[in-house]
């Protein structure tokens, strides 16, 4: 697959890009917001385009052309206000869904947040973020895309264990960003994950087995 990674400079995005870059079965185009980020990726032999999620659907669509699948791993970040959360995590995500639909790209994997689908379980301090993720996911579910929504728990900068827990509902917990990237990339060719969503935490099952049995 030709995979278009949105949020390629984020911490999860970087892990996804690194993993895809090592795989012969996929090619990669990374979407970043700054030219210096694109230049750094290019120095490693990775194709990159400079586009913002606050740009137009047309600009995003132009960058996305030629892709077979989209991975959305972007976020406004913890240091921005609710305005950026709305513009990036919600409207930005929806723009990419619209762009994929316009181009006829079917496969779309969304990195969401643990329990984003259950309002009663949202973190009080992050309500605007959870609302943005909730409604972006809802609009993806209402689209014609072959989506998978991955909702990871607390993200850790630790080596991946390769062992996870996957289910529609899981309690609180955490997972390494490397394992999230492994799961996200693995879902691309897992037909049983199409038009499905799941929570994701560290666990006891190998990633492949966890996805196969979901």
Distance (Å, whole) CA 198 – CA 180 = 12
The answer to whether the CB of 51 falls within 8 A of the CB of 59 is yes
Assess contact for 98 and 57: CB atoms under 8 A.
yes
Q: How far is CA 188 from CA 25, 162, 182, 184, 193, in A?
A: 11, 17, 10, 7, 9
Is 124 exposed, middle or buried, given 0-12, 13-18 or 19+ CB atoms closer than 10 A? Answer: exposed
**Alpha carbons 204 and 202: distance in angstroms, whole number:** 7
Active site residue 130: no
Q: Which residue bears the tokens 């240091």?
A: 79
Q: Say which of 108, 129, 130, 147 is annotated catalytic.
A: 129
Ranges of H-type helices in the chain:
11-21, 35-43, 57-64, 82-84, 93-103, 127-141, 177-187, 207-212
Paired with 71 in beta bridges are: 5, 109
Within 10 angstroms of residue 35's Cβ, the number of other Cβ atoms is 10
What positions carry a catalytic annotation?
A: 129
């Amino acid at each position: 697959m030709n995979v278009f990674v949105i949020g390629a400079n984020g911490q999860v995005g970087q892990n996804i890009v690194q993993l895809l870059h090592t795989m012969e079965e996929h090619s990669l185009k990374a979407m970043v917001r700054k030219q210096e980020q694109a230049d750094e990726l290019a120095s490693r032999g990775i194709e990159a385009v400079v586009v913002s999620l606050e740009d137009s659907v047309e600009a995003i669509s132009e960058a996305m052309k030629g892709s077979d699948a989209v991975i959305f791993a972007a976020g406004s970040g913890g240091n921005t206000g609710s305005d950026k959360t709305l513009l990036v995590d919600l409207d930005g995500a929806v723009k990419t869904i619209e762009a994929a639909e316009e181009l006829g790209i079917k496969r779309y994997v969304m990195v969401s947040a643990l329990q984003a689908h259950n309002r009663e379980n949202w973190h009080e301090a992050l309500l605007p973020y959870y609302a943005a993720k909730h409604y972006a996911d809802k609009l993806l579910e209402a689209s014609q895309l072959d989506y998978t929504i991955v909702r990871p728990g607390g993200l850790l900068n630790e080596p991946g264990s390769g062992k996870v827990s996957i289910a529609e509902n899981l309690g609180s917990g955490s997972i390494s960003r490397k394992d999230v990237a492994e799961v996200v990339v693995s879902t691309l060719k897992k037909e049983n994950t199409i038009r499905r969503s799941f929570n994701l935490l560290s666990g006891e099952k190998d990633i492949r087995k966890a996805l196969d049995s979901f």
